[in-house]
Amino acid sequence: PHQVSLRRSGSHICGGSLYKANVVVTAAHCVQGTSASVLTVVAGTSSRTSGGTSIKVSQVKVHPSYSSSKINNDVAVLILASSFSLSSSIQLIALASSAPAVGSAVEVTGWGATKEGGASASTLQVVSVNVVSNADCAKAYGSSAITTAMLCAGVDAGGKDACQGDSGG
């Protein structure tokens, strides 16, 4: 219920999480260089294309140390023009008090592709993956690709992961 759809000129571009009734957290790469005037947030629906409640974005705040080349500090805050009315279908994300432990299960949600190179999902998807140490992640992706501002997660056997279109959620 905290998952929202971020839309540019009406089309889904990324996910986000409802932090406060008028504040969304998303990925910086989803909104960097984009005017708030073309962005809306839709909450309260599992459909990528219909339903829910839509509110315009009034401000985009990208992390001041965001690096598009390293994809580091890839976080942005969206201030909405008004507040969502919280309900059973529109809820705030529950924030953890600390980082999840290596090996613990976490959920990834989004409307991204369900296979590499595939089309975006029409219905919100959820998958459980395990937190991986940054050291192990660096072995897979290269030591310069992983920073302390990142969380790495996946499944050893593969086949379950976030994919294109899941960013921001």
- List pLDDT tens digits, range 52-104: 999 999 999 999 999 888 889 999 999 999 999 999 999 999 988 998 999 99
In whole angstroms, give the CA distance from residue 57 to residue 60: 7
Query: What local confidence, expressed as pLDDT, does residue 16 receive?
Result: 96
Q: What is the mean pLDDT of residues 133-156?
A: 86
- The residue ranges of every structural domain in the chain are 3-80
* 67 catalytic residue (yes or no): no
**The CATH number of 3-80 is which of 2.40.10.10, 3.30.110.30, 2.60.40.1220, 3.30.70.890?**
2.40.10.10
Question: Considering the chain, what is the average pLDDT of its residues?
Answer: 92
In whole angstroms, give the CA distance from residue 63 to residue 81: 20
* 136 catalytic residue (yes or no): no
Query: What local confidence, expressed as pLDDT, does residue 167 receive?
Result: 86
Which is the catalytic residue, given 12, 29, 58, 120?
29
In whole angstroms, give the CA distance from residue 8 to residue 5: 10
Query: What local confidence, expressed as pLDDT, does residue 118 receive?
Result: 85
Per DSSP, the three-state class of 110 is: strand
pTM, two decimals, is 0.92
* 29 catalytic residue (yes or no): yes
Q: What is the mean pLDDT of residues 10-32?
A: 96
β-strand partners of 96? none
H runs (alpha helix) in 32-151: 134-141
Question: Using CB atoms within 10 A of its CB, is residue 22 exposed (0-12), middle (13-18) or buried (19+)?
Answer: middle
Query: What local confidence, expressed as pLDDT, does residue 114 receive?
Result: 82
Contact (Cβ atoms closer than 8 angstroms) between residue 24 and residue 30: no
- Residue 31 in this model has a pLDDT that exceeds 80: yes
